[in-house]
Amino acid sequence: MPVGQIVGRMNQEMSSADVVYQFIDEFIETVERLQQTLEAANAK
């Protein structure tokens, strides 16, 4: 994504550490949802 599109989505100032922590939290949530989806598919 070009920087112009990313900058346009920024709505608050965050430290780089907070950005990394947010990425990690979103990754964990995504993996948990994927795991639930896979478990539901295997239960059929």
Q: How far apart are the first and last CA of the chain?
A: 38
Domain of residue 36: give its range: 14-44
Per-residue model confidence (pLDDT) at position 14: 86
Q: Is residue 23 part of a domain?
A: yes
Structure tokens at 38: 């896979």
Distances (CA, A) of 36 to 13, 26, 30, 32, 39: 34, 15, 10, 6, 5
Per-residue model confidence (pLDDT) at position 44: 80
pLDDT by residue, tens only, the chain of 44 residues: 556 666 677 788 889 999 899 999 999 999 999 999 999 999 98
Per-residue model confidence (pLDDT) at position 4: 64
With CA atoms as reference, report the closest residue to 22 among 14, 33, 12.
Answer: 14
Split into its structural domains, the chain has a count of 1
Q: Is residue 18 part of a domain?
A: yes
